[in-house]
Amino acid sequence: MTAVDRKVRLSPAATKRPVSGEGAEHARREHVAHKVGAGVAEMEPISCPCCKQPVAAPSLEIVVDRYDVTPLQARILGAVWRGKGMPVQTERIFDAMYVDDADGGPSPTRMYAAFKVALCHLRTRLDGSGIGIENVGYRQGYRLVMAGEITPARRA
């Protein structure tokens, strides 16, 4: 018996998701809840680093400190945070990433690659916190989402 034969096999009907209608919406929500995790619906309580009191609306500095965000990731988060939920163009995020670079940073191709890697790591750090960065749409940028606003279809 091979390793493949030993795996539990599901019937084809059990692995298919409905294409349309209420069943499709229910299946999509279950898939989203499984993929995104239970921590997205509500924000995890964050304590102030100074007084240790719970903070209802954390500042950027508190989030960076709480989730051990790297400096490059903090610049990305800061650029999107300043957008206050509105789309921030990728070029503005690049400017924030390389604000200290006299040459303005590497080539656009390398800049975009570095951004995508840093964004992936930042999303991983913030996973379950209720804070996220969402891709708004093709060439429209990214926006900050808080506590339950994340739509996984636009997360990538």
Structure tokens at 13: 């009907």
- 23 pLDDT band, cuts 50/70/90, is low
- Sign of the CA dihedral running 42, 45, 49, 51: positive
pLDDT per residue over 69-118, tens digit each? 999 999 999 999 999 889 999 999 999 999 988 888 889 899 999 999 99
Tell the burial category of 74 from Cβ atoms under 10 Å away from its Cβ (0-12, 13-18, 19+).
Answer: buried
Higher-pLDDT residue of 5 and 128 is 128
Whether 134 and 151 have beta carbons less than 8 Å apart is answered as yes
pTM of the model: 0.64
